[in-house]
Amino acid sequence: MEDCWEDMDKEISQTPMPSEYQDATVKIICNDCQSHCTVPFHVLGMKCSNCGSYNTAQDGGLEPRQPQPQQQQQSP
């Protein structure tokens, strides 16, 4: 299956997500190693951070990206 997962890695790297989803994460459960982890969301698949499999299921809602703190500009 590693060849298949490598193909998925390539497809995902060549398919950028819209900006509103680029930093979104999702909780998943891996059907191969039964790990629960939080990983980057991608419409093509979510990769288990424990074993590298894409045989995963979403285990919760999408976590939107955290807003970046804005730097305060100093007045002249």
Predicted confidence (pLDDT) per residue in 28-67, tens digit: 999 999 999 999 999 999 999 999 999 999 988 888 766 5
**Could you tell me if residue 66 is left (phi over 0), alpha (psi between -120 and 50 degrees) or otherwise beta?**
beta
Q: Evaluate whether the domain defined by 2-13+22-63 bears CATH number 3.40.630.30.
A: no
Distance of alpha carbon 20 from the chain centroid? 13
Task: Answer yes or no: pTM beyond 0.85.
Answer: no
